[in-house]
A = this chain, B = another copy of it.
């Protein structure tokens, strides 16, 4: 990357004024950036230019891409509903390679290890760079400074915001759907590649110039429900197989069996109980990781004991949440991502299992969103520092190995709790300063570790409620010292100057950078 001017943003991080040749705004603080201007305006289309009988089928994905005018330098988007079982993104870039197209910007809602196949295209110039999470091999590749452009990491809500605001103009969106009709109405509920919902593709369908829906289960119009509306779709394609069902279902949705993690979960639930967060009609969001799932199970026990229920649970759904819905412990699941077959079944059957999208749940540039209405969000982190700042994208060795997901967006919940081990593989998780800043400390309320709970001093209300509690409340510095006493002072990651990716904040400003690992 050519030299770029750096500036210190409101979090004290040095960030560029320009990314991939385009000016950007440095982070200004939580709720400080003033959104200006108008949303991106898609072209006005006319029915006269579309088949009057609604049949938009073309023979192959290649044909659709040609009709959509795929050419050098375009931005092409895909979505991670198929997770590590996705077969579409790889096919898409195989075709681009075949067509000799160069310098594409790949704008996935997330990438997975199965996309390691695409490293060859990052190397040969078919893909210029990736804007979206780079999990595993792709992240390592980028961290080694091998990607031509700079990666841009956004939260799910930030991705919607970027598309809505015209920050990222998508030329061609390729939307894989378990079920679709020839008009382009599509859902993720029915078929061999069922994924539940298609919310991550919503922005793309609304704002992309050309939209292609690809399915391995084409049904007669109307495909109901239309999670993606055919009125936004240009072409539909039927293929044999979109995804590997075994790998679509995430491997992470199993409750942890680790005694340490179970302890974290139990303390977290106890904390929520003692502080009154768990009350009749409350709401919660917890991730699909083993510890988060365990927190949910402890919540369940507390709720059953108290005879109360939650108004709603937000987040990715799984069999544990579904059982709570079916037992009447939750009125609604407001689902953003279905993690297992039980989630998919429930969403198809149960009107109380409601699909959401990054627009409803997370978009910061809307007239509010759902995140702020959630009483408590239970999230993870790779590192937390003494100012409660947290990192979710890099490891302490500096490698970029994870995406942001909905994590940043969930920080706007009324209480944010990070149950994390004090150290992992003898490397402290609570540190002086996070390697990469993903979440400003002022939004993170509680750190729960196996050796104590630290409450953000800003939350005097929580501290007040804990008076007299036998929960092991400590200061964050005490936790850090304890970690260092056991593991020693952690070595800082070694970086070159080269910026390989930036982390955007929910409002589109630049929060931090990720540099090449030395």
Spell out A's residues near B (CB within 8 Å).
31-48, 50-54, 56, 164-165, 183-184, 211, 220-222, 224-226, 229-234, 281, 311-312, 332, 334, 351-352, 354, 359-360, 363-370, 372-373, 412, 414, 507
- Contact assessment for A221 and B311 in the assembled complex, using a CB-CB cutoff below 8 Å: yes
Q: A53-B373, A224-B354 are known contacts. Are A45 and B365 too (CB-CB below 8 A)?
A: yes
Q: Which residue from chain B places its CB closest to the CB of A413 in the assembled complex?
A: B52
| A211 contacts across to B, CB distance below 8 A | 367
Q: A42-B39, A332-B224 are known contacts. Are A364 and B47 too (CB-CB below 8 A)?
A: yes
Chain B nearest CB, measured from A126 CB (Å): 28
Tell me, in angstroms, the Cα distance from A263 to B364 when the chains sit together: 59
Number of copies: 2
Tell me, in angstroms, the Cα distance from A351 to B349 when the chains sit together: 9
Q: A38-B44, A367-B50, A372-B54 are known contacts. Are A360 and B231 too (CB-CB below 8 A)?
A: yes
Q: A54-B370, A367-B233 are known contacts. Are A352 and B412 too (CB-CB below 8 A)?
A: no
- Contact assessment for A47 and B221 in the assembled complex, using a CB-CB cutoff below 8 Å: no
Chain B nearest CB, measured from A150 CB (Å): 24
Chain B nearest CB, measured from A508 CB (Å): 10
Tell me, in angstroms, the Cα distance from A54 to B366 when the chains sit together: 12
Q: A56-B368, A221-B311, A368-B54 are known contacts. Are A44 and B231 too (CB-CB below 8 A)?
A: no
Chain B nearest CB, measured from A44 CB (Å): 4
| A365 contacts across to B, CB distance below 8 A | 44-47
- Contact assessment for A54 and B220 in the assembled complex, using a CB-CB cutoff below 8 Å: no
- Contact assessment for B52 and A412 in the assembled complex, using a CB-CB cutoff below 8 Å: yes
| A44 contacts across to B, CB distance below 8 A | 35-39, 164-165, 365
| A54 contacts across to B, CB distance below 8 A | 368, 370, 372-373
Q: Which residue from chain B places its CB closest to the CB of A351 in the assembled complex?
A: B224
Q: A220-B311, A224-B352, A373-B53 are known contacts. Are A231 and B368 too (CB-CB below 8 A)?
A: yes
Q: A46-B507, A47-B366, A231-B366 are known contacts. Are A334 and B222 too (CB-CB below 8 A)?
A: yes
- Contact assessment for A38 and B47 in the assembled complex, using a CB-CB cutoff below 8 Å: no
| A225 contacts across to B, CB distance below 8 A | 351, 354
Q: Which residue from chain B places its CB closest to the CB of A31 in the assembled complex?
A: B48
Chain B nearest CB, measured from A35 CB (Å): 4
| A34 contacts across to B, CB distance below 8 A | 46
Q: Which residue from chain B places its CB closest to the CB of A359 in the assembled complex?
A: B231
Q: Which residue from chain B places its CB closest to the CB of A354 in the assembled complex?
A: B224
Chain B nearest CB, measured from A29 CB (Å): 10
Chain B nearest CB, measured from A406 CB (Å): 15
| A332 contacts across to B, CB distance below 8 A | 222, 224
Q: Which residue from chain B places its CB closest to the CB of A41 in the assembled complex?
A: B38
Q: Which residue from chain B places its CB closest to the CB of A33 in the assembled complex?
A: B46
Q: Which residue from chain B places its CB closest to the CB of A361 in the assembled complex?
A: B231
Q: Which residue from chain B places its CB closest to the CB of A283 in the assembled complex?
A: B221
Can you offer 13 A-B residue contacts whose CB atoms are under 8 A?
A38-B42, A39-B43, A44-B164, A46-B364, A47-B366, A56-B368, A183-B370, A211-B367, A222-B332, A222-B334, A224-B352, A231-B366, A231-B368
Sample of 15 more A-B contacts, CB < 8 Å, known A222-B312, A232-B367: A35-B46, A36-B44, A38-B41, A47-B364, A47-B367, A51-B368, A56-B368, A184-B368, A221-B373, A222-B311, A222-B334, A222-B354, A224-B332, A229-B359, A230-B367
Tell me, in angstroms, the Cα distance from A311 to B225 when the chains sit together: 15
Chain B nearest CB, measured from A195 CB (Å): 19
Chain B nearest CB, measured from A165 CB (Å): 6
Chain B nearest CB, measured from A15 CB (Å): 20
Q: A54-B372, A312-B222 are known contacts. Are A35 and B39 too (CB-CB below 8 A)?
A: no
Q: Which residue from chain B places its CB closest to the CB of A365 in the assembled complex?
A: B44
Tell me, in angstroms, the Cα distance from A230 to B225 when the chains sit together: 20
Q: Which residue from chain B places its CB closest to the CB of A311 in the assembled complex?
A: B220
Q: Which residue from chain B places its CB closest to the CB of A281 in the assembled complex?
A: B220
